[in-house]
Amino acid sequence: MGVKQRIAVLVEREYEDMELWYPYLRLTEAGYDVAIVGPEANKEYPSKHGYMIKSCIGMVEAKDQDWDAVVIPGGWAPDRLRIYPEMVELVRKTNERNGVVAAICHGPSLLVSADIVRDKKTTSYVAIKDDLVHAGAKWNDAEVVTDGNLITSRTPRDLVPFTKAILAALEE
């Protein structure tokens, strides 16, 4: 692998537990440099089920760094994250650099705010399908959809193919 690729996993209150932890652990296990990025550094954020995770870097510092990938778990966190211009900029900048941008469940709502889904094939939890379509995405009901550097999935039951797609994209 040479130099470790750097991956930002975004977090805010009420993230979906499995959608954060499964990719985080698999990417860490695969040897990547994975950072939990929240609005504030060194702050604990509770999941939808109360499971805490501590951010290691805050969004102000993170937005100015070059990430090889960004992973956006679902739950209610993406809706909270999209109100922060710094988080939107981090996603947009990673996409512009052709870094891997992966979002699951409600995570693609942050992609809508970053304006990076126009003419792209995507999927998501069905509740945000209309948001993606209105933002110009070509929505598909599939366990994982990859379009260039953009990887999207629907729900926790799609985590295995979602994470395999992220790993495969990072290997390219």
Q: What is the pLDDT of residues 157-171, one digit of tens each?
A: 999 999 999 999 999
Q: What is the mean pLDDT of residues 112-136?
A: 98
Q: Is residue 159 part of a domain?
A: yes
Domain that holds residue 13: 6-171
Question: Does pLDDT of 1 surpass 50?
Answer: no
How does residue 11 score in pLDDT terms, banded at 50, 70 and 90?
Answer: very high
CATH number reported for the structural domain that contains residue 147 in this entry: 3.40.50.880
Residue 104, both tokens: 């699951």
For range 38-58, the mean pLDDT: 97
152 assigned to some structural domain: yes
pLDDT of residue 143: 98
Q: What is the DSSP string of 60-125?
A: HHHTTS--SEEEE--BSHHHHHTT-HHHHHHHHHHHHTT-EEEEETTTHHHHHHTT--TT-EE---
Q: Tell me what the pLDDT averaged over the chain comes to.
A: 97
pLDDT band at 4 (very low <50, low <70, confident <90, very high): confident
Asked if residue 3 has pLDDT above 70, the reply is no
Residues 95-123: pLDDT tens digits?
999 999 999 999 999 999 999 999 999 99
Residues 6+ apart with CB under 8 A from 13: 45, 46, 76, 77, 80
Instruction: Tell me whether residue 105 is one of the annotated catalytic residues.
Output: yes
Residue 120, domain member (yes or no): yes
Does the annotation count 106 as an active-site position? yes
What is the pLDDT, as a whole number, of residue 2? 55
* pLDDT value of residue 172: 87
Mean pLDDT for 133-147 is 98
- Secondary structure class of 149 (helix, strand, coil): coil
Is 18 contained in some domain?
yes
Rounded to whole angstroms, how far apart are CA atoms 10 and 101?
11
In a domain, 85, yes or no: yes
1 is a domain residue? no
Domains in the chain, number: 1
In a domain, 13, yes or no: yes
Instruction: Select which of 49, 56, 105, 134 is catalytic.
Output: 105
Query: What pLDDT, in 10s, does the model give residues 64-93?
Result: 999 999 999 999 999 999 999 999 999 999
15-19 average pLDDT score: 98
